[in-house]
Chain A
């Protein structure tokens, strides 16, 4: 057939050398895809981290504030032996862990309801409710908590109006725990929800069919399958709390210094 032949000829003539190359060496395509992000990652991110690590083995001349490039382990010795530093590290890690557990416990039932119980419509509304606070500034949200937890804030006002003694938790570690748990909760809910969404409903039906009550089915089937999402969420909440230095300044008290605050102050000294 003439038409087909003409078409075939045209197709052959149009074959680009690049297409042939990509076809013959299948690794070229992923290599092209990965080179830009990898270059960025290695050059900018990893290099700066490595440089930072190297400077940790040097010292600063306290008079001139110049870096003295002499290899030593003084910085590490100070961190590990100075009681103040050990207290701060312990506090930071402890609160970060507490915040992670709190968020995990709050997020799971919420995410479960979103993924498995709620209708499509409710699901969308809840999703918006989770994401909407992220549009507001971090500072604004923390300040809002100051207004709540203040000595004359909404919390105490409410307690007093129903005849209870005031809870003076403003500017304490408890306040930090509350604020951190609130701020990072969406970062726990979203990955947990994503993991729960992927658990087919038929697995729950199968568990019920085999004699498991609802809670048993959730514990045996849903929780293990949701663990990757919970772990991802935990990494977010834990590391975000670990590196934060603004919330401790704003809602923490005298004994609420975090690692981040020490680094911040140290960096200013160095400048």
Chain B
């Protein structure tokens, strides 16, 4: 599933020579004994792009990131950074920096020393170093904390230090390995926006690893969905959600309602389903199928209906609670009809890989 095009990405201002991609992978493969880590991945990431590797545990996304950083050696394939072949280059010579999942802050150094370490190693003069560290501290909003030790900081603050320590070196590509995984939901959502803001501000290419589909959709310019060491689909969030190429992608991103009618397998997203009571009539052109509401779940901003169609398949419909949901909660157990517009269905790729197992109906955060 090689995606080598620069499709949705506008060329850099000026549009002179086709400037090299920030990252290019050719047939990158990495096994651990008999276990497949990464299985022949081709990938091109453009400069300044926020690119996400999304997949469940064991899908190879972190291994791929570690291959790019140079912590692992590939068994086969080529890795290019900014047009330069770095396949056999150790990490300290690569123009990448990593934000580690466990942050990996140096416990014996202050926040300022942590952030300045990369510059110190590269021999940046002290005055410039101080200025750049100060700027980075301001950017991640940690002003006044630069004399603290990592163990005196909260999880969110440590996360920011890890980010600043990487960004301050102005790498060609910034690699982020589930950087928000250890934070609570509120903080995570806050940091998602913050990361996006910082990425815009510094203009560095971000390669972001996550298993959280919502996070991937929120932040990314493009997402690669991975399973079993391979890329299932690459595309902007909208395309992945609205037009999933495989059953796996459909199942992994959002709630997928899979239906097979006349031998054609397709997906309808829950919010595209209309619930019709006896007296309601469908809009013209819609497909209508009868069923029973088995369960009604109130989720605050929306209500979720688990429906069993008369043909046997379970479907999930979701309705925004634009009005009080009391009435909606009453329809549990009742016979209804589900209606959807044909243009809101998406037919799945028929010749998909057999080893891409269909995910459970709803794939939420595992950790």
Give A contacts to B, CB under 8 Å: 200, 202-203, 205-213, 216, 220-221, 224-225
* Residues in chain A near residue B108, CB distance under 8 A: 224-225
* Residues in chain A near residue B148, CB distance under 8 A: none
Across the interface, name the chain A residue whose C-beta is closest to B117. Answer: A210
Which of A209, A213, A221 interacts with B106 by CB under 8 Å? Answer: A221
Inter-subunit contact A208/B106 (CB<8 Å): no
**Least Cβ–Cβ distance between B150 and chain A, in angstroms:** 11
Inter-subunit contact A205/B91 (CB<8 Å): yes
Inter-subunit contact A205/B107 (CB<8 Å): no
Of the A-B pairs whose beta carbons lie under 8 Å apart in the complex, a sample of 23, sorted by A's number, is A200-B102, A202-B102, A202-B104, A205-B69, A205-B100, A206-B98, A206-B105, A207-B121, A208-B71, A208-B92, A209-B69, A209-B71, A209-B92, A210-B118, A210-B165, A210-B166, A210-B169, A211-B118, A211-B122, A211-B169, A212-B92, A220-B106, A220-B121
* Max chain B Cβ within 10 angstroms of own Cβ: one of A216, A220, A224: A220
Inter-subunit contact B97/A210 (CB<8 Å): yes
Is residue B333 within 8 Å, beta carbon to beta carbon, of the partner chain?
A: no
Across the interface, name the chain B residue whose C-beta is closest to A202. Answer: B104
Distance in angstroms between the alpha carbons of A216 and B117 in the assembled complex: 11
**Least Cβ–Cβ distance between B165 and chain A, in angstroms:** 7
Count how many pairs of residues, one from A and one from B, have CB atoms less than 8 Å apart in the complex: 59
**Least Cβ–Cβ distance between B160 and chain A, in angstroms:** 15
* Residues in chain B near residue A220, CB distance under 8 A: 106, 117, 121
Which of A205, A207, A225 interacts with B117 by CB under 8 Å? Answer: A207
Distance in angstroms between the alpha carbons of A206 and B97 in the assembled complex: 9
Inter-subunit contact B107/A225 (CB<8 Å): yes
Give B contacts to A, CB under 8 Å: 69-71, 90-92, 96-98, 100, 102, 104-108, 117-118, 121-122, 165-166, 169
Inter-subunit contact B92/A200 (CB<8 Å): no
* Residues in chain A near residue B166, CB distance under 8 A: 209-210
Listed from nearest, the 9 A-B pairs whose CB atoms lie closest are: A210-B118, A206-B104, A202-B104, A208-B91, A211-B121, A212-B121, A209-B98, A224-B108, A208-B92
**Least Cβ–Cβ distance between B3 and chain A, in angstroms:** 27
Distance in angstroms between the alpha carbons of A221 and B104 in the assembled complex: 11
Distance in angstroms between the alpha carbons of A62 and B83 in the assembled complex: 90
**Least Cβ–Cβ distance between A223 and chain B, in angstroms:** 10
Across the interface, name the chain B residue whose C-beta is closest to A199. Answer: B107
Inter-subunit contact A211/B92 (CB<8 Å): yes
* Residues in chain A near residue B91, CB distance under 8 A: 205, 208-209
* Residues in chain A near residue B118, CB distance under 8 A: 210-211
Distance in angstroms between the alpha carbons of A220 and B117 in the assembled complex: 10
Across the interface, name the chain B residue whose C-beta is closest to A224. Answer: B108
* Residues in chain B near residue A211, CB distance under 8 A: 92, 118, 121-122, 169
Which of B97, B105, B107, B122 interacts with A209 by CB under 8 Å? Answer: B97
* Max chain B Cβ within 10 angstroms of own Cβ: one of A208, A210, A216, A221: A210
**Least Cβ–Cβ distance between A25 and chain B, in angstroms:** 31
**Least Cβ–Cβ distance between B89 and chain A, in angstroms:** 11
A209-B98, A210-B121 known, 17 other contacts, Cβ within 8 Å: A205-B69, A205-B71, A205-B91, A206-B104, A206-B106, A208-B71, A208-B90, A209-B69, A209-B91, A209-B96, A210-B166, A212-B121, A216-B121, A220-B121, A221-B106, A225-B107, A225-B108
* Residues in chain A near residue B92, CB distance under 8 A: 208-213
* Residues in chain A near residue B117, CB distance under 8 A: 207, 210, 212, 220
Across the interface, name the chain A residue whose C-beta is closest to B118. Answer: A210
**Least Cβ–Cβ distance between B104 and chain A, in angstroms:** 4
* Residues in chain B near residue A210, CB distance under 8 A: 92, 97, 117-118, 121, 165-166, 169
Given A211-B122, A211-B169, also A206-B100 (CB < 8 A):
yes
* Residues in chain A near residue B104, CB distance under 8 A: 200, 202-203, 205-206
* Residues in chain A near residue B102, CB distance under 8 A: 200, 202
Across the interface, name the chain B residue whose C-beta is closest to A216. Answer: B121
* Residues in chain B near residue A205, CB distance under 8 A: 69, 71, 91, 98, 100, 104
* Residues in chain A near residue B98, CB distance under 8 A: 205-206, 209
